[in-house]
Structure 1
Amino acid sequence: MTTGTILVIDDDREMRASLEHLLQSAGYDTVIAKNGLEGLEALQKNAPDVILSDVRMPGMDGLEFQLKVRETSHVPVVLISAHGDIPMAVGALQNGAYSFIEKPFAPRRLLGILKNALRMKRLEDSTILLQSRLAELTDLERILIGNSAQINAVRDTVFDFALSRANVLILGDTGTGKELVARALHDLGTSATAPFVPVNCAAIPPERFEETVFGTSENPRGLMSQADHGTLFLDELTSMPFQTQAKFLRAIETKQYQRVGETEVQTVELRVISAASDKITQRVADKTFREDLLFRLNTLDIVLPCLADRGEDVLLLFRHYMQRLSQLYELPIPKLTNDDIAALMSYDWPGNVRELQNVAERRVLAERRGGGSVRHAIERQAPLQPFPETLREAVAAFERELISRAIQDKDGRMDDVAAVLGIGRRTLNEKIVKLGLDKEALLKG
């Protein structure tokens, strides 16, 4: 491992060769330029740690060169001056050069100056990185609002994981903010300018899942192609059809895939962020979700807390949404009474942050008719919020379990399975596809 990279600029060939030998013997990499213009080009191409430049050169002297460097870079410049060039070197120091050394000089003294310049450069780099990351952390606090220990832990984890390109699985109940966290991971990462492609797996018909994800000859821009070099976010991961899971696993393992109906291999480079409830382990146990795919997607994981477990964050979030929604609807911000606060803190928020936002919106809109109460806003929406989704999930889970057991009990004889379930063979086949069941996997289990 080298000590660092030094850009050497001098119009004297023998001096360049001498400096190059000295620096390489001391463990440095070197980049060589004959004049200031070549030096500026080398600076853009090589990103050196320190610049060592002669003061007096044809075309562009060391002072002018140093000023050009300062316009675009914070790389320290060390100038080599002859006795008559000292006033010019002092002027360069006043304009930001790091140091100068007068000819003739002792090699040990030059190496000492370069060592100190390199140490300062790395300290400045660390400071700039820290400032950048602190700014990102401030942005993250605006996105993931709250002061509770639980949300602070989530913010720390997002902050740590953002710079990784490893796949992430986000676990949490409905309304806990899984897509918000996924977007934060992307926006704070190294591919923030690349595409972020969200997809709700439950919203894609099972029979169209593969063509939607991988594309076709008629529609080559599938989701994998759209997310190339960026992030593919798979929400409702457990709704991915079982028959598609093996192909998707191969694609993310090999970074290659084929469009539906084609043999040509496409390459892709992306990060997969997935979201699911903690029921995914049950889906693996039921053999309706591949364990090897889960391992591949679960390189890193983030567990989001329920809103009811976040204590005072409930009130903080509610005030935040009321303020934002009041601005949106151009209505006064409602004043919270003690009864309002008690209602907020005693409710269990089954729909989590999403439900709280809905209640805040109802409370703000009530200002149009003179006001209202938080308790009334909760009572009006509570039966409507999570019930339909929970019912659909319960029915699907019941059907999945019933059909799976029947297939195993009847050793895969589908006519017998349909008969014992009291449905037609065609209906049975449709349900197997819709629920993502795999007969062979069930029989092997």
Structure 2
Amino acid sequence: MNDFRILLIDDDRLFRNSLVDLIEAAGWKAKPLARATEAARWITQFAPDVILSDVRMPEMTGLELLKDLKNAPPVVLISAHGDIPMAVEAMNEGAYSFVEKPYDPKRLLLILSHAAEQHRMRESNQRLKERLQELSGLDVRLLGETPEMVGLRQTIAIMTQSASPVLILGETGTGKDLVARLLHDTSDRCDGPFIAINAAQVTAAQLPVVAQAAAGGTLFLDEISACPMDIQPALLRLCESQEVFLPDAVSPEKVDLRILSATNEDTAQAVRDGRLRQDLLFRLEGLSIKLPTLAARLDDIPLLAQRFLSDSAKAFGVSAVDLTQDDISALIAHSWPGNVRELRNVVDRFLMSAQQGTPRMADAISGVDHDGASKPGLREAVAAFERQMIGRAIQENAGRMDDAAADLGIGRRTLNEKIVKLGLDKDALL
């Protein structure tokens, strides 16, 4: 049962009382008023989800109230003298709906329920946006208000004060690379380089090069459990004594760096399987962080989704979209095997579908359109659109690139870069 709050305004005492009985029988709270002039004060004190007001009243009519209210909850007008011009005027002034007396109780409750739900959803989205604006530092880059995320930020804040190696553990898509970057950016090495490599693909020749490149800063080794066994002795030396052997060198060279590593595997199992040296693991996990899955922090999903929607809308120059209650319900109900990375991709698909019609988060999660066709991500769709626009401009200008760039409203250099990035064949277009 919803606990909606309804502000009732009607100068007819008997009719007003009958409305109160109807509202309270539905399990909602009602605040009855005889005059619209009292509405502003009670909007502040009672915080209604919707206002139900008669139209013809002394001192101030319902239409005058509607025009007078600013940033108020939805207003539903009800009148025994309703006609089409009055209803049209009411809707033009921003009324949520117009109901004639005598009314159908079920229909009235349905209208009030939808209006109240819309108001709460709008307020929820506003709170999310305000919260995003308030966040700073680690809060902004490592978003979330669940105990898991609050604890994670506190742990990172402590670890930034240490020079010890850190092993970051977590499933795919939980943000291990983001945490590594935060550990660097909030440390006293933040002005030094941050070098990230895939430990599964590094060679012996590459290791001293990347170690030197990270001198004075941080070396981040991703997928450390898959590091080739023949590289692990050199990596152990780097961890223990911060030394590397350069090609043809007779003695090691010192490098000043902090080592961070990450894996989505069970490191103890990797040791038992003979894929990861026990002594190397001991050195790498001087400190360790276990990142929570997205399924373990469901309460963070609306905030994350709203942030990703805002970021993607800005990045691709499209209109922002607010989440509905159905959207949030679909997000919460999903299991998120791909974690935060999957959520970002889902948000991109949802935003793209919003540019083409009415979006449904459930479709974005499943990755299909209403007709069951596979739905591309926002980046793929934008790239396809750019290919079409650039190809058409090149054809219409008979290959004259300066003219094509002018038609597209971009510089010649930018056009050339996009042609290369999008894999366009200019000759094939002409």
Q: How many residue pairs align between the two structures?
A: 238
> What code does the residue aligned with 1:260 have?
P
Give the Cα separation in 1 of the matches to 2:325 and 2:192: 47
> What code does the residue aligned with 1:210 have?
A
TM-score by structure 2 length?
0.53
Partner residue, 1:193: 191
Give the Cα separation in 2 of the matches to 1:240 and 1:227: 19
Q: How does 1:240-251 map to 2 (within 5 A)?
A: 240-251=227-238
Partner residue, 1:270: 257
Give the Cα separation in 2 of the matches to 1:279 and 1:237: 11
Identity over aligned residues, as a percent? 37
- Poorly superposed stretches of 4+, deviation over 4 Å: none
Give the Cα separation in 2 of the matches to 1:281 and 1:193: 34
Q: How does 1:413-428 map to 2 (within 5 A)?
A: none
Give the Cα separation in 2 of the matches to 1:163 and 1:328: 34
Structure 1 residues 224 and 327: alpha-carbon distance in aligned structure 2, compared to 1, 3 A threshold:
same
Give the Cα separation in 1 of the matches to 2:313 and 2:244: 48
Give the Cα separation in 2 of the matches to 1:325 and 1:173: 24
Give the Cα separation in 1 of the matches to 2:236 and 2:316: 46
> What code does the residue aligned with 1:201 have?
A
Corresponding position: 1:257 with 2:255? no
SS at match of 1:312: helix
Partner residue, 2:138: 140
Give the Cα separation in 1 of the matches to 2:325 and 2:186: 39
Q: Return the offset for 1:368.
A: 2.2
SS at match of 2:275: coil
Corresponding position: 1:177 with 2:175? yes
> What code does the residue aligned with 2:194 have?
F
Q: Return the offset for 1:384.
A: 11
Give the Cα separation in 2 of the matches to 1:330 and 1:277: 35
Partner residue, 2:147: 149
Q: How does 1:9-28 map to 2 (within 5 A)?
A: none
Corresponding position: 1:297 with 2:297? no
SS at match of 1:275: strand
SS at match of 1:372: coil
Partner residue, 1:168: 166
Corresponding position: 1:314 with 2:306? no
Partner residue, 2:113: none
Contact kept? 1:213, 1:224, Cα under 8 Å: yes
Gaps of 5+ in 1: 1-136, 215-221, 386-445
Structure 1 residues 138 and 326: alpha-carbon distance in aligned structure 2, compared to 1, 3 A threshold:
closer
Give the Cα separation in 2 of the matches to 1:272 and 1:287: 22
Partner residue, 1:211: 205
Structure ranking higher in helix proportion:
1
Q: Return the offset for 1:333.
A: 1.9
Q: Return the offset for 1:235.
A: 0.7
Partner residue, 2:312: 325
Q: Return the offset for 1:201.
A: 1.9
> What code does the residue aligned with 1:288 have?
R
> What code does the residue aligned with 2:204 have?
E
Corresponding position: 1:361 with 2:368? no
Contact kept? 2:224, 2:263, Cα under 8 Å: yes
SS at match of 2:298: coil
Q: Return the offset for 1:270.
A: 0.9
Query: Could you give the per-residue CA deviations for residues 72-96 of structure 1, whole angstroms, max 9, x where no partner exists?
Result: xxxxxxxxxxxxxxxxxxxxxxxxx
Give the Cα separation in 1 of the matches to 2:210 and 2:164: 19
> What code does the residue aligned with 1:299 have?
G
Q: 1:224 aligns with which of 185, 207, 211?
A: 211
Give the Cα separation in 2 of the matches to 1:138 and 1:273: 24
Give the Cα separation in 2 of the matches to 1:251 and 1:307: 34
Larger radius of gyration between Structure 1 and Structure 2:
1
Give the Cα separation in 2 of the matches to 1:332 and 1:158: 35
Q: Return the offset for 1:335.
A: 2.8
Contact kept? 2:225, 2:265, Cα under 8 Å: no
Give the Cα separation in 2 of the matches to 1:238 and 1:384: 34
Give the Cα separation in 2 of the matches to 1:182 and 1:261: 33
Contact kept? 1:334, 1:363, Cα under 8 Å: no
SS at match of 1:243: coil
Give the Cα separation in 1 of the matches to 2:240 and 2:324: 55
RMSD across aligned C-alpha pairs, in angstroms? 2.1
Q: Return the offset for 1:280.
A: 1.7
